[in-house]
Amino acid sequence: MKTVLLLLFSCVTANANNSIYDVSCTDRSEGLYFEPVSGVRGRITLQWCTAADTKVKKWNLNLSYFTSLKPEQCISNYASSKEHHLHSSFDEVVPVNLNCTNVCFKTFLDAIFHSTCYKISTSQSSENETLLHYDQYHYVNKNDSVLTIEDVSKSTTSAHYQGGGEDIIIDWLPAIPVSLYHAYINDVNDSRGSYEATKEI
């Protein structure tokens, strides 16, 4: 029996309410904050702090990266015309039901590479219109708290069949922090198709 194994993973960090985001009152100045998480390589805390608006129903974020820009080139006037790659994105329902003047939208992002320029494009919207949009370019300097693009390729996967060939053990050693993964297993000799598994870590 020959099996083709493909593992696709998404790095999602969940908070207490099982969501990838959080909204809270704040006294921080308005702006976007992109800060490494101590002790977790490649994990960044992203906070977008703005005036509170009860009309907000959704938070959208698109994170893109450039592979060859220098720190001094990581600015809107230069980078906006350069080719970039989508890193991650989400569009979440985040109603602002807080009795405060300013709020911070917060999420965690994994697999952030050092020596890389990122474009953070984020917006707030009501049910049918965009209320606020903000773009920022941010260069992640080299330090021990973040990864390189090459580190991601160091993940390894192996499959071991058990007696009788009915069960299989998958060993997956990810090179980046992971809290949720999806596994797709395809048997080339089985016409019934693929098998899918989802697991929270």
The domain that holds 92 is classified in CATH as 2.60.40.10
Same domain assignment for residues 77 and 172: no
* 137/196 same-domain check: no
pTM above 0.85, yes or no: no
**pLDDT tens digits, one per residue of 150-193:** 777 776 666 665 656 566 666 666 666 665 666 666 666 665 55
In one-letter notation, the amino acid at residue 94 is: V
Half-sphere exposure of 75 (CA within 13 A, CB side): 5
Where in the sequence is the domain holding 179, given as residue range(s)? 3-9+150-200
117 and 184 in a single domain? The answer is no
Whether 40 and 117 map to the same domain: the answer is: yes
Do residues 167 and 110 both lie within one domain? Answer: no
Q: Examine the domain organization and report whether 138 and 164 are in the same domain.
A: no
Same domain, 72 and 162: no
Q: How do residues 50-75 score in pLDDT, each as one tens digit?
A: 999 999 999 999 999 998 899 999 99
Neighbours of 43 (CB within 10 A): 21
CA distance 31 to 51: 10
Residue 59, Cβ neighbours under 10 Å: how many?
21
Element (H, E) at 76: helix 76-79
Q: Are residues 98 and 163 in the same domain?
A: no
